Each structure stands twice: as C-alpha cells, then as structure tokens.
Amino acid sequence: MNKKVLIFGPIGDFGGRDVEVNIIAKSLNGKYNISLLSSIYISDKSYALADLAVQNFTSFQIQAFNSSLLLRILAYVLKFKNKKNKKAYAFVKNKLSKKIFNFKKNNISILESKIKESDVVIACVQLSSNYLKELVEISNKHNKPCIVRTTGTVRDFDIKKTDFLKRVALFVHHSETNARNLNNQIELPYAIIDQCALNDNCLLELPINFNQKKKYGFLGRISREKGIIELIDFFCKNDDYEFIVAGNGVLKNDIEIKSKEKKNIKFLGQINQQELYKFFKEIDVLVIASHEESGPLVGLEAMAAGKIIISTKVGAMEDRLFSTENDFWIDINEKKSINLSIEIIEQLKQADLVKIAEINRQVYVKKYSFATIKSQYLALIDNIIVK
C-alpha cells in the first residue's frame, strides 16, 4: 500500500501557493497517496487541484459544515443573503456560529485526525501562518515527519516564540536567500527546491520573437506589495510604451480606471491557468516590480515562455537569472531605473533579444521544468520515508 502524504496550508482557489501545492501533489501523486487539508476556503476549482487524477481535498470549513446540521442551516441562510458564488460552507463561520461552536478546538481536532492518518506531512505556509505550531507539535506527538515549504519572504521573528521550529524535519525553500533569512536567526535543516510553471508545455511551445513595438506586461496579484502602483504611474507618464496588466486584487478598480484613461494601458483582469500562454504570447517583456517575494512563480513562467524579464531583486529571481544574460534589474522606488532598463531593451537588436530569451528558456528547461522539480520532490520524500 502506498504511503500517505498530507499537504496542509491556507490553500485557496487562485494564487501562487495554490499552484505550488498543485506542483507538489502532482510530483508525488501515483507513488504516494496525496490528500489536501486547507485552513481557508477552497473549492473544486482551485489551482491546487488542477489536472490531479485524485482530488482528495477538504478544509476546516468543509469539515465543520458537514459535522453540524445547525451550522449548515446558518451557512445556507448567509449564502442566500450574500448572494455569493462561493459554496455554502464558505459561510459556516459567522457571528452567531462562533458563539455556539468552538472552531479552533474543532480545527485542531481535524488537523490531528488527518495527521494520524498520514505518513508524512508537508505544510505550505509562511512561518506566521495559523496552525503551524499545532501542526508541528501534533506531528511530533504521533512521530510523523513534518516538512515546511516556506512561502513568502522569511522575516525576523521572535525565536523564543518559535522554538517549535526545531522539531520540523526539514525546511524547503525557493532560494538560498530565503534559507539565509531563516538560518541567520536559527539554524535549521533545509533543501532548495524552486517552483515550475503549471502547464509548462504550452509555454515552452511559444515561438520566440519580438514585436517591433515592444509590449510590456504585468501578471499577478493587483496589490501594493507587487509594485503595480509604481508601474502604472510610470507607464501613464511614458505612454509611448504599451503596458498589459493581468490579475486580480484589491487595487483592481484603480487599474481599470487607468486603463480606460490611457490608450497605452490594457487591463485583462483575472486570467486562468489555461489562458496563461495567451498573455505571454501577447507580451515581449515581463515586468516584476514586487517589493517582496519568495519566488515569484510568474518569473519562471516568463522564462519558460521565452520572454525578457525586468525585475526587482526579490525572492529567487537573482538565483534564477544568474547564469543568463537577462540583466535588467530595477529599484521600484527609483523610477529612473525602470526607464533605464526599458531604454536598454528598446535599443537591443532583434537577434540579441532572441538570444537572451532562448537562454532564459534553456535555463528553465534544465533547472525548473516540471520533470526536474518532480524528481527533486520524489527524492526528498523517498529519503524522509526511509529515515
């Protein structure tokens, strides 16, 4: 019988973490029995479940919803009142239900039950995520190896309050930078496994060529930490350059207004993974303007698609582009650096752009393709199981 691997975290429907979970699940699925437990709302439309032969997933919400008729009734009433497209269990936690139901106690009980059923636990979380401490303690209590896949940037933390991290079997980071951020504070065992693009075959098949008039693109969460406000301001003032934005988030309305005001800005809104190649087919240069990242995944997607990348020095981007000729770095707080990178790209010959893009793709295939990442995860879990 195959060993069981539990993947836990705030796994939602759309986002980098959800793609990350999908990559891990698909890498291990077949050799191991995979189950997903989310601490937040998740539906069967989640990126985490894309193309998985077996969709064995649940969440704290689903479990609470199924456990009580009263909770189900309250949830359905709230769903009807809010007229939202989410499943009824999304409304299980509300002002009234919190007075009659101990959700935290119930969640910890669910977590323990799922851990007991598993042979290995993988937590895709930030170090500040809810239930990480409980997960590590329960895993140790039942002698289940616990692996923490860090998401987001590792920051300074109170070591006295995180002593439980010493009981984690292994940390997996996107980059040596994130590993140093953690190990400079507390020395812990770790491995480096980066991400890969979901459905990378489609991106790898895109032809490498460049429009005479370059098109610059942004893909990601429309929120302040992604640097989208600074980018929009730049392209509004430099309207000779075409700028295509795709994504969703709290600043979506602001971007929509700007795109209607300026002819050089095009806003596509949220695009699904199946349409990702269409975005990359349309642009020539991806701009990553994030103030902080652990990846980001979109950087690898651009490499697979054979695109030029302008980026801040965040997350794993310096490691990923180290052996390429893609040397277009910006400081998002210094708009002159954005202008300088774009001017250099605009002056490059077509052949030079193609050469850089081809190197980006070659590095992706060698280091970050799904086949490569899959073999790394399988080797890691095989080693943990043997131990």
| 3-state per-residue secondary structure call for 250-318 | CCHHHHHHHHHHCCCEEEEECCCHHHHHHHHHHCCEEEECCCCCCCCHHHHHHHHHCCEEEECCCCCHH
Ordered structural domains, the chain, with CATH: 4-195+370-386 (3.40.50.11930), 200-367 (3.40.50.2000)
225-277 per-position pLDDT tens digit: 999 999 999 999 998 999 999 998 888 988 888 888 888 999 998 888 778 88
Condensed to tens digits (0 to 9), the pLDDT of residues 91-110 reads: 999 888 999 999 999 999 99
What's the pLDDT at 387? 64
Please classify residue 254 by burial: count the beta carbons closer than 10 Å to its beta carbon, then call 0-12 exposed, 13-18 middle and 19+ buried.
Answer: middle
Write down the pLDDT at residue 182. Answer: 87
Q: Tell me the average pLDDT across 97-124.
A: 95
pLDDT at position 198? 78
Residue range 19-38: mean pLDDT, rounded: 94
Q: What per-residue confidence (pLDDT) applies to 258?
A: 82
pLDDT of residue 176 exceeding 90, the answer is no
Quote the pLDDT of residue 62.
Answer: 97
What is the average pLDDT across 336-365? Answer: 96
* Pairwise pLDDT comparison (62 vs 160), residue with the higher score: 62
pLDDT of the residue at 367 = 93
**Burial (Cβ within 10 Å: 0-12, 13-18, ≥19) of residue 192:** middle
Q: Look at residue 386 and tell me whether its pLDDT is greater than 80.
A: no
Task: State pTM to two decimals.
Answer: 0.87
Per the prediction, the chain carries an average pLDDT of: 92
| Residue 261: predicted pLDDT | 87
194: nearest Cα among 30, 55, 375: 375
CB 217 within 8 A of CB 283: yes
What share of the chain in percent tops pLDDT 70?
99
State pLDDT tens for residues 2-13.
Answer: 899 999 999 998
pLDDT of 226 reads: 93
